[in-house]
Structure formats: structure tokens, C-alpha cells
Structure 1
Amino acid sequence: MKCFGTTKEEYELCEKQNDETMEYLLPTTSTRRTFDYILVADKLDDDDADQKGQRQKAFLHELERKHISIVKIMHDDKVFFGLRAPKEIFEDYQYLLKVSDSCNWCGEAKGCVSQATRIRIINFILYHTFINTGEDLEELMMKGVFETVFCLHERKKQKQLRKNWARWSGLFTGQPVNDVKSYFGEKVALYYLWLGWYTMMLVPAAALGLVVFLYGLAFFNTNPLIKEVCNSSTIMCPRCDNRCTVWKLSDTCSYAKVSHLFDNEGTVAFAMFMAIWATLFLELWKRHRAKHVSQWKVYDWCEEEEELILAIVSNPHCSPKQFRHSYLRTTLVLILVTLMLMIIIGLAHALVVFRVVAAALLSEGNWEFVRDHASSVAMLLGAVLHYITIQVMTRVNRWVALKLCNIEKTNSFAATERSFTVKMFTFQFFTLFSSLFYVAFFLGRINGHPGSYVRIARWRLEECHPSGCLTDLFIQMAVIMVLKQTLNNIFEFTVPWLKQCMSRNKVKKLQRKCGYCYRKACRNEQEGVDPCDICKLRDWLRNYHLADSNAFSLFNEFLEMVIQFSFTTIFVAAFPLAPMLALLNNIIEIRLDAIKMVRLERRLVPRKTNDIGVWTQVLEAIGVLAVIANGLVIGVSSDFVPRLVYRYRYGPCATGGSNTHCMQGYINDTLSTAFMGHPAVQNDFIPKQMITESGFNATECSYRDYRSDEDYKLTAQFWVVMAVRFAFVILFEHVVVVCKFIAAWFVPNSPMKVKNDRLHDKMARLKEELRDIKRSISTDV
């Protein structure tokens, strides 16, 4: 009892030197007890005592029938119930686990049960205990009978994790995955294992993306396309009706320079690399996972058997929950999912309308800078509005996904979790990417041309910049990625941190009372007493005031990272710096999540698993979609194919022998001319729109398209470019898909060492079973 002081000053000095004061103060006798779970309820007044009080007593009585001991402590307007299960429950669990088909006891000695295992079992018992009205704990909490339920952090292990892992100074150090597994369970450990592997694999992707960016930067000033735009005297057609006037192509010199940074020859190679990288990442992750789950002895773990074992431990007379399938329910869910996706796509259309209207109104404004850059400002405002829409729809999507899972009535928690994951990811994917798909594949392609513009109400649709449409996609992605990752991380950390700061003073007051209680017990030589109620309550309150954690806590982290993976792979051709941003974010994300889980949130229920679950299939689907999307971005959205066609068919070098640059004249070749005197055009532009800033009255203007100047029909060059575009997309996708299959075949899912170790373990287990049987027979004889 080194921390016993005779004065208040001595005790506080010792307390300051050692954050684990309770480890010294608590008696190390057999009477010292830990608690598996804490139930919290409000103190009941006279009006609620009958209904809520009876339900509360009924639930506690059911727990006592299962031999769970309960300690009740009152504090202010709250009632705390400390729950502890007897060792017989865990002995039953160990035996059933041993005789199951997937014998996978996690290396713990017989009779020795870790606190993480205790918490997992008691959590199942709590949520599968019903009172005589048929209500379970979840329903009782919804009706206010209990306020909350949580498991306790282990102070000693918590401090060790804070020291070795959950600290900002360890940004570039490894993760103690085995310690995380022992404390939070295999499910959380596999999340951090996956996140660490994903972050490490981002290093080569980020380096190559940076090289592609630097490649565009190296030829920044010598590129003939940029020079052609910057030195051009071409007069372009008005971008909107009424207030917009003609403008010079050279006005967009800066835009053309930015566009070339992300739309160059290196982009094609980088997109192919990222498609193959996604496959290699998944295949190598499977090997990495296999090595750790084999070490943790959960390689053959089966979630069905785990739930059956827990159900028997909770209630020996239980019956298995039958598998059910209803075509009516499935059809209803499918219809509702389709309706939800239609609403999300409708919101994307609303964003398009907003951008069209915003561009038109800004072009009529009084600020010269905003008026001159109306399209770019509208694009930026649309991206910010898209981010706000994402934040709102995230909450709506979660609510809808939960309701759909309730309609399905799955037979287990794991099945519900899988169903919810697929639905929630689908909704989130469409929420985030529907607007991006519009920018990538529809912007500037459905707006029409002079004489036949497409309008929404009275406003014209947006047009692509003469330097290409890829920069618009880049701006949209950059705003969403930076805003989403930065603001999400800020809110994730600050909210639980502020909650902890506000509750710290209350815990410190109880800590001083607890120290006085133990000093008095020591002076009276009462070494065999249980901890006083104040000391128990201090630890319970410390955990109670932490931010709540539930089954969605880990799901949210996975969803955030998988959405980031989608951004990093699907439209990487438009944003080569996406892997670099993802890498920088993940380095911070690992420590932020660790600090949040260890220090700022209640302890997550440790759950057993041997994989990241349905997320593996989601990542594989994203890898396939990345091939399709990048092929379309390069073939359809990028100017790579038109530049290729111009170089080898229509440019100065097409016939050979030219001394000029092969891309000389490309910009003018992509422009068509509209004449004011033409009957099809004269109604689109009023005379004042054709007056330049210098006062010159233009009689013709240019626009981006391959059309004849006489009848405005598509030229032969348009169809040649279109044919090459489709040929490139087909060739790109087939080549990359073949490379993906070869990579998946070449890399085995499990290392040979893991397979051999499993064989040895199985043989050793079978031999042990045979010895036990022979020993039992000889004893009987």
C-alpha cells in the first residue's frame, strides 16, 4: 500500500505521480471483485414507480435467475447496477467451444477467461434476456426503464494501450495489434490491421500519383496546347443568355494550365496501375489477414456456431432461431431500395439544376470577378452544397437501412449486420458519387449547340471548358474529399473530447473521497474488505461520462475508409493526388480512432471474427467498378483520345515531314464556328451579347464541338473520335481485367506457412482428443 498517505497533500502527490492509484489502493485479496457490465437507470418518482419499477425489477430478477450477481449504488438522480457473472457460465462456454466443429478457443488456458471474453458473453446474455411481457433490454431502454448499459475499461490495460498506441507522438510507429485484439476483440483488431495495411499500400500509389502530377508540372510552360490557349485571339460564344457576352479563349489560360496537370499522358498509365493496385491490395490483404487469424486461433471460427453456443450459455432450454425467407418481404425491400435510390438520384439532378441556375444568376451579378468566373464559382458552390447534402443524407440513409433490416427479419445479429452494411454502403455510394458521375460523363455532352441549346426552364445547361471537362471533375472531387475527411475528423475527435472535459471534475471529487475511504480502511487494518461504494462509483462514473459506443461505432469507421477507397480508385484518373490525400489522412486517422476508442469513448464490446466480413466483397466490387469508371473517364471525359486521333490523323505530323509540334493547332481543330447571320443561330444570341470588351462587334463566335460551319451537322472527325473512344474503353477494360485476374491467381490467399501450421494444429488436437478418450476408458476400467 505504497500510496497511503496520512495527509491530504501526501495522498494527492502520490495520485499525481501514478495515474493508476486504484491499483495500489484496492486490496489484493480474493474479495476484490471486478464487474462485467453496468446498467444505469433514472431514479423513479412516484408516478413511474409502478410501471417502470416493475419492469426494472422483473429484468433484474431474470438476470439473478441466470446466477448473475447485482450490486446497486445510488448517486444523485441515477441508479447504477454492477453486474458480474459466475464462473460456471464461462466453463460451459469453454466446453461447448471445445466440442464444436470449429474448435477455436483463443489460446486461453482452461478455467482462465479474459475480461474481453467475459464482456462478450455477458453482452449476449443481457440482450437475450426477456421479461414476462416479452420485452428485452433494447425495448426497455427505448421505454426509459433503463437509461444505458456499458462495459468497463480495464485501467491497467487501458493505460498500456495509451502509452504504446493511442497517442499522437506515435503517428509513424507500428500498431500493437495483438494487444488491441486482447482488449477490444478480433473485430476491432482486424479493422486496425486492415487500416494499417491499406495505409502502407497507399505509399507506392501516392508516390506514383505525385510523379504523374510532377510530370504535368514539368511541361507546364512548354506545352503547345497551353500556349495555344493563352496566345489565342479566338472569340468564344456567350456561356449563357442575355447578360453573358462573347469572350476570348485566352481569358481561360490559367484554367488550361490546371487542366493539363491532371489530363496528360501519364494519367492513362496511372489509372491502369491503380486498377491493378486495387486487386493486389485485396489479395495481399487476404494473406496478411490469414497470418494473424491463424496466430489468434480463429481461422476456422464460425459465427453461426458462436451464436448457438452463446444462446445455450444464456438459456440451456433455448431453441435455434430458424432461417426464414419471404418473397413478399424481399420484393418489398427491393422496391423500397429502388425508391430510395431514385430519391438520391433526384437529389443529384437538383444539384445540377442548382449549378445551372447559380451560373446564370452569378453571370448577371454586379461583381466583375464573379461574373467573369460564374461557371467555376457555381461549380465550387455546387460541390459545397453536395457536401452538405451528404451529411444530411447520411443520417437519412442510416434510418432507412435500419427500417429495411427490420422488415427483412434476419435470423441473427451477424446477418442483420451484413444486410445493413450492403444497404447503407449502396445508399452512401449513390449519395456521394451520383453528382460525380454527372460531371464525369454528362457535363458538356447534353447541353446542345448554338441554334439548338438544351435548357432547364429558361436556363441553358452547363458547358465544358475548351481545355476539357476533367478539371471540373477534379474540383468536385477535391472539395468533397478535403471537406469530408477534414471536418469528419474534427467532429469525431472534438465531440467526445469536450464531453470528457466537462465530466472530469465530477470524477475527481469522488476520487478524493475514495482515497480517504481506503486510508481509513488501512489504518483500521481492514485489509479484507470490499471496495467501498464510492470507489466503485468513481470508476463507473468515469466510464458513464465517456461518449457512447455501440455496434455502429466500428461500422462508421469502416464505411468512412471504404468510401475513401472508392474515391481513391474509381475516379483516380481525374485526381492523381487522391492517394496522397488518403495516405496523409489515414496516418492521422489511425491514431485519432485509437485515442477516441481508448480514452474518449466507452469500451466497445469485444467481438470475435476472422475477417472484415462483407466489406471484402464490397472492396472487390469497387475494384471492378474502378476499372470501368477509369476506362470511361479516360476514354470519354478526358481529351486523351481526341489528342491521340489528332496527332496521328489530322495534325501536322499525320502525313510526316512536318517541322512543327505534332499537337500544333489542336485547340482550333476542336472548335466549331457559329455565324450570327445564320437562321439557326440568330435567335440564340442578341446583338449586345456579341460586343467584346474592346467594343468590337463580332459577327461569329466559336464553341467546343465537331460540327460543320454550314449546316451545324456532326463532322466525320466526330465519328472517328467517337469510334476510337469506344475502342479504347473496351481495350483498356479488357487488358486491365486480364491483369487483375492474373494478379489474383498469382498471389495465394493464404501463405503456405499458415496452411502447414493449421495442419499441425489439427493433428495435435486430434491426438489430444484420442489420448483423452483412452485415458477416460482406462479410468472407467
Structure 2
Amino acid sequence: MTRHRRQASIDLLELTGVVKENGYPSENPESPLLPPVQTPVSIDYVLVAKSGEDKKRMKLQDAFINALKEKHLKITRIEDDSLVFYGIQAPKEVFDKYRYLLKVSDACNWSEQQLTVPLSTRIRIVHYILSHVVLDTKENLGALLNKKVFEAKFCLHERKKQKHLTEIWARWTAIHKGQPIDDVREYFGEKVGLYFLWLGWYTFLLIPAAIVGIIVFLYGLGFYQSSPLIKEVCESKTVMCPLCDNRCKVWLLSDTCLYAKVHLLFDNEGTVFFAMFMALWATVFLEFWLRHRASYTCQWKVYDWCEEEEELILDIVSNPKCEPKKHKHSYLRSTAVLIMVTCMLMLFIGLAQALVLFRVFATVKLAEGSWELLSDNANTVAMMLGAVLHFLTITVMTKVNKIVSHKLCAFEESQSFAAHERSFTVKMFTFQFFTLFSSLFYVAFFLGRINGHPGGYVRLSGKWRLEECHPSGCLTDLFIQMAIIMILKQTFSNIVEFGGPWFKRWLRKQQTETLERKCSQGCHRLEEQDTNQEREMCDNCKLDDWLRNYRLNDVDSFSLFNEFLEMVLQFSFTTIFVAAFPLAPLLALINNIFEIRLDAIKMVSLERRMVPKKTNHIGVWTEVLQAIGVLAVIANGLVIGITSDFIPRLVYRYHYGPCANGTITDVDCLAGYINSTLSVFYLDDQNHEFTTDQMMTHGGQIVTSCSYKDYRNNEDHTLTTQFWFIMAMRFAFVILFEHVVVICKFITAWFVPSVPLDVKNVRLGDKLNRLKAELRDSRV
């Protein structure tokens, strides 16, 4: 609606006496444009302070409460021992004004038949007003909470609706039932409703991904026994070079028979298909999510909702004399933020290198240990310990990343809270992504490729050898890292996410006085009475309810962000490097089935009620998911082409193996492949790379040569032509894979419209009816 049209509507309403001179609704509007509001009597918000505090804090308390009264907010004060509760209730005129501004806004979505302002809307408006009250000392409510002038602020749970949600949704016995998304949206607002809608849709589409992953795993399980590669490894007599210095000895290739079988479970022809499938799956998931979201936002009448205009409306409702917050941009600030972000990313890369050093030292110490089992498997144990340490690093850095992200966003001075939230989301996700994946990228693409070879090892400080890939292949190391981190992260997160709030609620309950009161009538009925006894009974009833909410765990504007971040990082695990871990979608599916109920129980029963927020999308997370989908194509193409043995096996089958000339038919085409990947190192008087003890087999025999996995000449250890040919084929495959998959992603995105036709038709009908109603009203 244009500015001239809005002014014409305001002029018309002024003539009919519906609005005052300032353009806002009068207290008793009678126009069909704006039906009267029937706002039930209820407390919209609660502030909690400690009684008997020092005079300075009491003075600030009184100043803030008086500032609220100046805005015509009704304050109900109730004391309970050491706590003072302030119940805040906004007058009807505030909601009249909000409804009217929605009516004349571009994003009109208020139904004329909706005569009652929902409590979720009232809470959002009052929360905004409280957050934008500034004292003469330039302090707002957030600053007063930091100074402990107020202990807490929260909106109240509605017992009836809370009980209803618990019965049908927020309990473990309802784990097999669907989600009442409309009820969740009505109670918690559109933002929480869309989170659970997205989580449910993501979990549902994980089912086909998990099924295909299981099929690929079973394919490897069914055919690895008949593979000539397994037979060649398990029956080999080849003596391999020591994997570390000092006490590491030569070993037989057949010692890795079990690991070779595990490696082939995740490195076979099915892996290539699964990587392509998951890249397309990510695109289908996003496109169908946009359709799914469009259907619900259209049904909720928020499809055309505008975030910026909503904030302008709330600004006017909070302060009619407010000035617009102008957009600002500073190249100096942007440059400073970019430099600080770069420094943080360098820190994450440094942490990844620290994990490399840890694994190197752990390998040396384990090899020198007295436990034969650990010393014989020093590399594998060191890799596992590194994965555990990586998980601990992620846990610690999560808190650091959150603090740094908040500081950077505050330094940017965003124009609105929505802009601040978007900026914080991008920074926090970037930091968490690098914390989580920097070590995995090293394991996937650098491990075993920069460590040198016998006679020319790369050493740290000239002493310790860099770690090598697992004897069965580099993909095994990536699989071990992903499995340990994903299982630990999901298990630990769920325990902390549920156990933490439960324990905090129990502890807070022990610290506050337990009151056992019974109300024979509801407070809304008692408030109509005038006797002191009934008024005291009503206050007691209110106090019980307020204490119950006070004992719950606190929430803030970024509480939902934590849930989104956890799931989006899981989505990253499910798509990026999935070629190395086909069972990742299955683990994610199992986790999410419980995650939905865990989040529901936490929000309904363990935490204070979130301030209901209006929105029609999941914000910048959509762009983040799209970026992950593109990165998944690149990463999986590199994993298959660079990390796995798929390309070397393919080259050997058609170029170097027994079937290369096309004449041999009675021999498996991969026969002799393992030996073709090995080079030989000879120990002589001039080369003392290994000691005599290291060159002694477990049977006591001293050998003068050993093999290692690489394509090098046995004399001068230079790279062979076979190495360069395979390397060329690797990069050719990566380019081909990524182009084919990206083209398929674009075709899929084009083929699946983001908005269903019925949604388009409903929106078209709504706009037409609204225009007709405006035309009728203009003739009144």
C-alpha cells in the first residue's frame, strides 16, 4: 500500500472519529476498518528483583518502574520473602494502535474477524516496549539486569495450553506421533513454529538418505569378502616399513587384514553413487522445504510479512515520537571486523595444527609404551585420542566463539535487532564450522601426503616424523574421526541439553521457598472482587504461578539460535564428507527423532516461555544451508577423487592391470593392485633411516628392505609416471563429478517450484478480497 493510500485511509478515519489527531486509533473505534479489540485481563510480563537491596539499586528499580507507568503500563507488585515480583500489563490502547498500524502497512496480515489480540502478540509488544525503555542514566533493561537491579524477566506460561502441549507433544511417550505445528506456533510464535517445522521436515527427509546409506553399507558388507584386494592383503607376506621412529618395527601387510575389510566397506563403487545421491538430496531437501514453508506461512497469514516494517510498527507503538534508525555503513569498521574474523580463522587453523602435533607426540609415546597392544596400534590409538581431543576443543571453543561473535556484532552497531541476529548467525556459524571441520579437512586432504618417504621423511624440529595415513588407507582415518566426533557430539549435546536445564530448575527450586497454596477460583474472577481477603487470595495465586515460572531456566533472544546451530552443523556432517561415512544420515535420523521431543520438553516444561517472535522464514539459515549444499559437492568430489582409492583402482583396472590389453578373461582385473601401490626401500651402510631393532620382524628375522605405500622408484625414490597419471585422473574425476552434480542440482532446483500453485492462488485471492474490502470501506 502506498504512502498516499495510507494517508487517505487515515484522513477518512479521522473524519469518522475513529482515530485521534495523531493518526492512531481512538479508544472506542466503531469503523468496520478496525473492529474493537477484546483484550482479556492478564499479565503480559514479569520482572523479578531482590528486596532489601542497597539504596542505589532500589532507586534504579523505582526509576524503571516509574518509566513504565509513564507509558501507561499497569504494574502489579507482589513480595515474597527476598523476592519482589512486578507483573506488567499493557492497556488496550497499545494493542489498538498495533492492529491499526498493521492494517495500513504493506504487510497487512491481520484478519478482520480476529477481535482478540493473542497473548503471544501482547507478549511480543510488551517485551519490545520494556527493551526500549531508557532511563536518564542511559541504561536500559539489559544493563539493569547485568547490574542485578532486576534478577530476571520473563513472560508467563499459560497452564492450560502448557498442559495441552505436554499431553500431545512434549513428552517421550508421544515420540511416535506427529507434531502439532499450529498449536506450537500459536503458543511460541512463528519463529519457534518454523524451527520445529524445519526440524520435522529435515528428519523426515533423512529417512530416504539413511536407507540409501544402509544399502551402500550392506553392499560393501556383501561383496568385500569376494574382493581380490582383501585376499591379496590377508595372504600377503610383504614386509612394511616402520610407521614411527624408535620402537616401531617392521610389520606384515597381512596384519591389516581386518582394517582392509573395514576400509572396503566405506570405499567402494557404491560410495560414488551415494555421494552424488546426497548432493542431490541436499538440493531436493532445500527446494521442498521452501514449498513446505510457503504452505504454512500462507496458512498463518504471514507470507507477505515484512521484518523491517514490523520493527517500525513496534517502534511507533513503543514511542510515537520515535525517529527512524538510519542504515549506517563504515568501511573502517568493516575492515576491522574482517581483520578480526581472519585472525579467528587463523586461530582455528592453528588449533588444527596443534591436534596434528598432539597425534605425532601421542604416537611416539604410545609406541614407546610397555603395553604391546597399544604400541602395535600406536597410529590408530593416537588418531582416536586426537578425535576425542578435537571434540573437547569444539566444546570449549563454542563458548569462546559466542563471546567473540557478540563482541564483533556490537562493534558493527547494526541498524536493528534482526540485522544484529543475521550478522551474529553468519559469524558464529563460520567460527563453529572452522572449529569443527579444519581438522577433518587436514585428515581428508593432507594427512599422509606431506610426510615424505623412507630416507626423506618430513620431521618436526628435525626429530619427530609427521603422521601417516592408516595402513589400510587414508579414508579409514577420516571415517574414525567423523564417527567419534559425531557420536560424542550428539550424545554429549543431548545429555547437557536436557540434564543441564533439569538440574538448574531443581537447584533454583531448592533455593526459593516452596509455597503450597490452592486457589478455588481463577485470578481473573477474583480480581473482580473488592474485599481484602479475596484480593490477598488472588495475589497468592499469582505468586504461585510467578514463582513456578521463575524457577524455570532462563531463555534469551538467542536460545533458538543454539538449536538451529546444532542442527545445521549436523546437516554439515550429514552432507560434507558423507562419502567417508555413509551411516552418518542414519545416526542423524536416530538423533533427531529424540531431538524433537527433547527440545519440546525443554521449551514447554524446563525453560521459561520464549518471547513469541513473528517471522515467515528461518532467516539467514536458508543461505547457510545452500552454501553447505554447494560445499558438500566440492568436498565429496575431492574425497572420492583424492582421498579414496576409487580412482587408482579404476586406472589399474583399465590401464595397468591384467585386463588392460583386453585379452585376459580368467583373472580378476584388480589382481596385483595392492603390490602396484607399494614401493620398496633398501637399507644399506650409507642409509641409516631405521635401526637394526626396527628392521627385525616379530619372528626375530632381520630384513634389509621394506615396502611403503607410494608410487616411487625403488632406486632414487622419485615419483613414477604412474603417480602422475593417477593424479591427472583424480583431478579430471573431481572436475567431472562436480560439474555433473552441480548441473543436476540446478535442474532439480528449476524443476521443483519453491512456491506451490495452491499457495499462489490463495495469496492472489486474499489480495483481491483485501482490495475489494478497502474499496468498500472507502465509500463509507
TM class by shorter chain equals: over 0.9
Within 2, Cα distance between the matches of 1:743 and 1:268?
Answer: 19
- What TM-score comes out, normalization by structure 1 length? 0.92
Within 2, Cα distance between the matches of 1:516 and 1:366?
Answer: 75
Measure how far apart 1:31 and its partner are.
13
Residue 44 of structure 1 is matched in structure 2 by 52
Question: Residue 636 of structure 1: SS of its match in structure 2?
Answer: helix
Residue 583 of structure 2 is matched in structure 1 by 577
Residue 641 of structure 1 is matched in structure 2 by 647
Residue 594 of structure 1 is matched in structure 2 by 600
**Conserved 8 A contact 2:568-2:625:** yes
Question: Residue 511 of structure 1: SS of its match in structure 2?
Answer: coil
Q: How does 1:652-691 map to 2 (within 5 A)?
A: 652-658=658-664, 659-677=666-684, 679=686, 682-691=687-696
1:86–1:31 CA distance, 2 compared to 1 (3 A)? closer
Question: Residue 163 of structure 1: SS of its match in structure 2?
Answer: helix
1:405–1:507 CA distance, 2 compared to 1 (3 A)? closer
Residue 282 of structure 1 is matched in structure 2 by 286
1:32–1:312 CA distance, 2 compared to 1 (3 A)? closer
**Conserved 8 A contact 1:648-1:654:** yes
**Conserved 8 A contact 2:517-2:541:** no
Question: Residue 573 of structure 1: SS of its match in structure 2?
Answer: helix
1:740 aligns with 2:728: no
**Conserved 8 A contact 1:507-1:542:** no
Residue 92 of structure 1 is matched in structure 2 by 97
Within 2, Cα distance between the matches of 1:358 and 1:307?
Answer: 55
Q: What count of residue pairs does the alignment treat as equivalent?
A: 738
Measure how far apart 1:66 and its partner are.
0.7
Question: Residue 580 of structure 2: SS of its match in structure 1?
Answer: coil
Within 1, Cα distance between the matches of 2:350 and 2:40?
Answer: 61
- What TM-score comes out, normalization by structure 2 length? 0.92
Residue 197 of structure 1 is matched in structure 2 by 201
What amino acid sits opposite 2:43 in the alignment?
Answer: F
Residue 27 of structure 2 is matched in structure 1 by none
Residue 235 of structure 1 is matched in structure 2 by 239
Within 2, Cα distance between the matches of 1:379 and 1:424?
Answer: 28
Question: Residue 149 of structure 1: SS of its match in structure 2?
Answer: strand
Q: How does 1:121-520 map to 2 (within 5 A)?
A: 121-457=125-461, 458-502=463-507, 509-512=514-517, 514=519
Measure how far apart 1:466 and its partner are.
4.0
Residue 719 of structure 1 is matched in structure 2 by 724
Question: Residue 510 of structure 1: SS of its match in structure 2?
Answer: coil
Residue 11 of structure 2 is matched in structure 1 by none
1:557 aligns with 2:568: no
Q: CA deviation digits over 1:68-123, x for unaligned, max 9?
A: 01111111211110110011100000000010111112x47454100000000000
Q: CA deviation digits over 1:707-738, x for unaligned, max 9?
A: 01111111110011000000000000000000
What amino acid sits opposite 2:264 in the alignment?
Answer: H
Question: Residue 191 of structure 2: SS of its match in structure 1?
Answer: helix
Residue 621 of structure 1 is matched in structure 2 by 627
Question: Residue 449 of structure 1: SS of its match in structure 2?
Answer: coil
Measure how far apart 1:503 and its partner are.
5.2
Measure how far apart 1:140 and its partner are.
1.0
**Conserved 8 A contact 2:425-2:620:** yes
Residue 83 of structure 2 is matched in structure 1 by 78
Q: How does 1:512-551 map to 2 (within 5 A)?
A: 512=517, 514=519, 529-530=534-535, 531-551=537-557
What amino acid sits opposite 1:126 in the alignment?
Answer: L
Within 1, Cα distance between the matches of 2:320 and 2:718?
Answer: 79
Q: How does 1:691-770 map to 2 (within 5 A)?
A: 691-770=696-775
1:35 aligns with 2:40: no
Within 1, Cα distance between the matches of 2:61 and 2:436?
Answer: 44
Q: Tell me which of 588, 609, 616 is aligned to 1:610.
A: 616
Question: Residue 764 of structure 1: SS of its match in structure 2?
Answer: helix
Within 2, Cα distance between the matches of 1:83 and 1:669?
Answer: 79
What amino acid sits opposite 1:752 in the alignment?
Answer: L
Q: CA deviation digits over 1:382-432, x for unaligned, max 9?
A: 000000000000000000000000110001000000000000000000000
Residue 6 of structure 2 is matched in structure 1 by none
Within 1, Cα distance between the matches of 2:704 and 2:717?
Answer: 17
Measure how far apart 1:241 and its partner are.
1.2
Measure how far apart 1:516 and its partner are.
11
What amino acid sits opposite 1:585 in the alignment?
Answer: N
Within 2, Cα distance between the matches of 1:325 and 1:205?
Answer: 44
What CA RMSD, in Å, does the superposition of the two structures yield over aligned residues?
2.0
Residue 34 of structure 2 is matched in structure 1 by none
Residue 25 of structure 1 is matched in structure 2 by none
Q: Tell me which moved more, 688-697 or 387-396.
A: 688-697
Q: Tell me which of 37, 55, 63 is aligned to 2:60.
A: 55
Measure how far apart 1:695 and its partner are.
0.9
Measure how far apart 1:660 and its partner are.
1.4
Within 2, Cα distance between the matches of 1:621 and 1:694?
Answer: 55
Q: Tell me which of 100, 103, 127 is aligned to 2:108.
A: 103
Q: Structure 1 regions of 5+ residues with no counterpart?
A: 1-29, 776-781
**Conserved 8 A contact 2:169-2:597:** yes
Q: Tell me which moved more, 473-482 or 531-540.
A: 531-540
**Conserved 8 A contact 2:46-2:155:** yes
**Conserved 8 A contact 1:284-1:747:** yes
**Conserved 8 A contact 1:40-1:79:** yes
Within 1, Cα distance between the matches of 2:735 and 2:203?
Answer: 31
Within 1, Cα distance between the matches of 2:771 and 2:334?
Answer: 44
Within 2, Cα distance between the matches of 1:398 and 1:504?
Answer: 29
**Conserved 8 A contact 1:278-1:569:** yes
Question: Residue 166 of structure 1: SS of its match in structure 2?
Answer: coil
Within 2, Cα distance between the matches of 1:627 and 1:592?
Answer: 32
**Conserved 8 A contact 1:405-1:419:** yes
**Conserved 8 A contact 1:246-1:690:** yes
Within 2, Cα distance between the matches of 1:101 and 1:31?
Answer: 25
Within 2, Cα distance between the matches of 1:548 and 1:713?
Answer: 63
What amino acid sits opposite 1:668 in the alignment?
Answer: N
**Conserved 8 A contact 1:510-1:535:** no
**Conserved 8 A contact 2:391-2:489:** yes
Measure how far apart 1:499 and its partner are.
3.0
Q: CA deviation digits over 1:656-704, x for unaligned, max 9?
A: 232111111111110000000274xx22111221111111110100000
Within 2, Cα distance between the matches of 1:149 and 1:239?
Answer: 60
What amino acid sits opposite 2:69 in the alignment?
Answer: E
Within 1, Cα distance between the matches of 2:582 and 2:573?
Answer: 11
Q: CA deviation digits over 1:189-233, x for unaligned, max 9?
A: 000000000001111100000000000100132211111111111
1:223–1:431 CA distance, 2 compared to 1 (3 A)? same
Q: Structure 2 regions of 5+ residues with no counterpart?
A: 1-37
1:392–1:509 CA distance, 2 compared to 1 (3 A)? closer
Question: Residue 293 of structure 2: SS of its match in structure 1?
Answer: helix
Question: Residue 488 of structure 2: SS of its match in structure 1?
Answer: helix
Q: CA deviation digits over 1:749-778, x for unaligned, max 9?
A: 100110111010001001101111101xxx
1:33–1:103 CA distance, 2 compared to 1 (3 A)? closer
Q: Tell me which moved more, 653-662 or 545-554.
A: 653-662
